[in-house]
């Protein structure tokens, strides 16, 4: 099955998405997500200028060899732009192989290990009462796991809280907006949120929280300890993880489970975290960590160390990534949970897909491939619009982690 053509489709049905479509001499085509929030055109150019010319004429079945060619062969390794572009090629090739085999992708990855993929939704409110009402709304929709974020008294904005509820979108301006951050106000408030949630909903539902990289290791340890009575499913990105050894300090102080990795691109970014069992869930994704081929390698390595997968699934990862992720999550032994921020109706119409939500779980369909398509005519109606994620400053003006 020879690759005859490949093209990059950039579309903005409410937010930007970059999609790679690979075509073959057998008349089959495959799709891969290449979206990198706020840096979309860098990945599009990497694909168009540097990867697609190397793909034409190759055998689409040689997924591993093509992966190695694009990774080792580039000499310059890793990084979000490179790995998202490689991921798009890899995902499209797995889609093609599964279509050629006439099977849903999870069959090629080892078959079903479970009946559905548990997902968590995002509840957010301006204050604790509003967040608690939002958690209730998710539980009524059948969710088994909910992430809860709340506004902090004395702070104009904080990560994860917005006027939009179901379709929250952080990339909100054509230049980065500037937010202000106070660690002390945040640390004083968040444990109260989970106290209220456990009082109201009991210990049945899984509750999660995302710190979004804003604490130092010792502050993260303090928060983890304060949250212990409320039994979180996980505390996410408690501190930045460029220095993986930072997590040793958090781990020494708390048994609150830890999740990290949505900004990681390769196994090397999480090797120490996994090997030393400093985390419980690894959040790398199909699109940002080198596709199905590399994410499966991360999942297998994690399985050896009792770390489970908890893939990132914000709205800036397209339905193509979600479809592929669901197939992997269906097959691997060490699945934990999948994040699920719902896409808007406009996005769903551009990317028709066969996965379905029921009873707190997403279910991949049985159409051959990963089950997600693109309506190119519809996509063409939504031209690219530059959009940035915000930046964050401490109250004295120091630039901080957003």
Residues known to be catalytic: 159, 212
Query: Whole-number minimum distance, CB 160 to Mg ion, in Å?
Result: 8
3-state secondary structure of 268: helix
Residue 47 or 263: which CB sits closer to ligand GCO?
263
Nearest CA to 108 among 312, 310, 287, 331? 331
| Residue 234 DSSP one-character state | E
Q: Which of residues 10 and 23 has its CB atom nearest to ligand GCO in the complex?
A: 10
Contact characters 311-340, ligand GCO, x per CB under 6 A: -x-x-x----------------------x-
Smallest gap from residue 170 Cβ to ligand GCO (A): 5
**Radius of gyration of the CA atoms of the chain, in A:** 20
CB of 150 to Mg ion, least distance (A): 15
- Helix (H) or strand (E) holding 133, with range, is helix 128-140
Residue 210 is a binding residue for ligand GCO (CB under 6 A): yes
As measured in angstroms, the least distance from the Cβ of 316 to ligand GCO is 4
Beta strands in 73-175 (DSSP E): 117-125, 145-150
For residue 83, CA distances in Å to 215, 371, 375 come to: 27, 23, 25
C-alpha 32/C-alpha 223 separation (Å) is 38
**H/E element, 298:** helix 291-304
By CB under 6 A, the count of residues binding ligand GCO is 10
Nearer CB in complex with ligand GCO: 149/246: 149
Between 66 and 220, name the residue whose CB sits nearer to ligand GCO.
Answer: 220
**Cβ closer to ligand GCO: 36 or 299?**
36
- Selected from 99, 212, 230, 294, the binder of ligand GCO by CB under 6 A is 212
The site partner of 170 among ligand GCO, Mg ion, none (C-beta below 5 to 8 Å per kind) is ligand GCO
Among 24, 37, 124, 256, binds ligand GCO (CB under 6 A): 37
Scan residues 3-32 and list those touching ligand GCO (CB under 6 A): none
* Pairing label, strands 117-125, 145-150: parallel
What sign results for the dihedral spanned by CA atoms 357, 335, 347, 175? positive
Q: Which one of ligand GCO, Mg ion, none is in contact with 316 (Cβ closer than 5 to 8 A by kind)?
A: ligand GCO
Per partner kind, with CB cut-offs from 5 to 8 A, the member of ligand GCO, Mg ion, none near residue 339 is: ligand GCO
Q: Which residue is nearest to Mg ion (CB)?
A: 210
Whole-number Å distance between alpha carbons of 259 and 247:
11
Nearer to ligand GCO, 39 or 378 (CB): 39
Q: How many CB atoms lie within 10 A of CB 359?
A: 12
For 340-355, give one letter per residue: b (16+ CB within 10 A) or e. Answer: bbbbeebbeebbebbb
Show contacts with Mg ion in window 332-361 (CB under 5 A): none
Q: Among 393, 347, 356, 351, which residue's Cα sits nearest to residue 374? A: 351
| Number of amino acids touching Mg ion (CB under 5 A) | 1
Contact 98, 57 (CB under 8 A): no
Name residues whose C-beta falls within 8 Å of residue 75's C-beta, 6 or more positions apart in sequence: none
Q: What DSSP letter does each residue of 44-81 carry, written as one string?
A: HHIIIIIIHHHHTTSBTT-HHHHHHHHHTTTSS---HH
- If one asks whether residue 170 binds ligand GCO (CB under 6 A), the answer comes out as yes
- Which of 262, 269, 280, 373 forms a contact with ligand GCO (CB under 6 A)? 262
CB of 99 to ligand GCO, least distance (A): 29
121 or 369: CB nearest ligand GCO: 121
Of 341-400, which residues contact ligand GCO (CB under 6 A)?
389
Residue 58: closest CA among 25, 94, 88: 25
In the complex, minimum distance from the CB of residue 212 to Mg ion, in angstroms, rounded to a whole number: 6
* Per-residue contact flags (x/-) with Mg ion for residues 200 to 219, judged by CB under 5 A: ----------x---------
Least spacing, CB of residue 347 vs ligand GCO, in Å = 15
**Positions in the binding site for Mg ion (CB under 5 A):** 210
**Positions in the binding site for ligand GCO (CB under 6 A):** 37, 170, 210, 212, 262, 312, 314, 316, 339, 389
């Amino acid at each position: 099955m020879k690759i005859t053509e490949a093209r990059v489709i950039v579309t903005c049905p409410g937010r930007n998405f970059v999609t790679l479509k690979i075509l073959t001499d057998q008349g089959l085509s495959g799709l891969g997500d290449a979206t990198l929030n706020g840096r979309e055109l860098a990945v599009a150019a990497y694909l168009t200028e540097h990867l697609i010319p190397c793909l034409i004429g190759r055998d689409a079945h040689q997924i591993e060899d093509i992966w190695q060619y694009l990774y080792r062969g580039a000499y310059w390794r890793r990084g979000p732009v490179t790995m998202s572009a490689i991921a798009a090629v890899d995902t499209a090739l797995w889609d093609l192989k599964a279509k050629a085999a006439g099977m849903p992708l999870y069959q090629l990855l080892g078959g079903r290990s479970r009946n559905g993929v548990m997902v968590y939704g995002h509840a957010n409110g301006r204050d604790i009462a509003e967040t608690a009402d939002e958690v209730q709304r998710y539980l009524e929709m059948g969710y088994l796991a909910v992430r809860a974020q709340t506004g902090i008294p004395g702070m104009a904005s904080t990560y994860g809280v917005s006027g939009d509820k179901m379709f929250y979108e952080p990339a909100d301006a054509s230049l980065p907006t500037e937010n202000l951050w106070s660690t002390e106000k945040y640390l004083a408030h968040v444990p109260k949120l989970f106290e209220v949630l456990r009082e109201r909903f009991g210990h049945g539902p899984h509750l999660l929280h995302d710190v979004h990289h804003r604490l130092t290791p010792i502050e993260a340890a303090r928060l983890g300890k304060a949250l212990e009575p409320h039994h979180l499913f996980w505390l996410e990105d408690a501190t930045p993880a460029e220095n993986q050894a930072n997590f040793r300090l958090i781990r020494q102080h708390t048994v609150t489970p830890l999740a990290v990795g949505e900004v990681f691109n390769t196994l090397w970014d999480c090797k120490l975290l996994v090997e030393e069992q400093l985390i419980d869930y690894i959040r790398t994704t199909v699109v940002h960590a080198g596709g199905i081929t590399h994410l499966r390698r991360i999942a297998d390595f994690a399985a050896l160390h009792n770390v489970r997968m908890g893939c990132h699934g914000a709205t800036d990862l397209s339905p193509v990534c979600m479809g592929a992720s669901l197939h992997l999550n269906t097959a691997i032994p060490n699945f934990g949970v999948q994040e699920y921020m719902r896409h808007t109706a406009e996005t769903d119409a551009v990317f028709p897909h066969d996965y379905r939500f029921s009873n707190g779980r997403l279910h991949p369909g049985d159409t051959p491939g990963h089950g997600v398509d693109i309506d190119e005519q519809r996509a063409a109606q939504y031209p690219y619009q530059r959009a940035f994620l915000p930046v964050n400053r401490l109250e004295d003006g120091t630039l901080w982690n957003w």
